[in-house]
């Protein structure tokens, strides 16, 4: 099982770009891109918190899910 980030899906649903999210959170654009592409192997909890706050998410399942490999 693998943890999958749904940041890209949420951004598209909200009509927001990765750059806008980076500006709102203070998280590097490269890190946002890696999360949107699910290239990151380690997830910074602070980043997840900042992203959730910027996107007004209160349920972490909107951002993260487990998937079978």
Query: Looking at residue 53, what is its pLDDT?
Result: 97
Q: What is the pTM of this model?
A: 0.89
Q: Is the pLDDT of residue 69 over 80?
A: no
CB 18 within 8 A of CB 11: yes
Domain 2-67 has CATH 1.10.1200.10: no
Domain range list for the chain? 2-67
CA 40/CA 13 separation, integer angstroms: 22
Query: Looking at residue 40, what is its pLDDT?
Result: 85
């Amino acid at each position: 099982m693998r943890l999958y980030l749904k940041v890209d899906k949420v951004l598209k649903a909200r009509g927001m770009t990765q750059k806008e999210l980076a500006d709102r959170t203070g998280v590097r654009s490269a890190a946002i891109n890696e999360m949107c592409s699910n290239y990151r192997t380690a997830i910074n909890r602070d980043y997840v918190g900042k992203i959730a706050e910027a996107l007004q998410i209160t349920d972490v399942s909107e951002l993260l899910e487990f998937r079978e490999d």
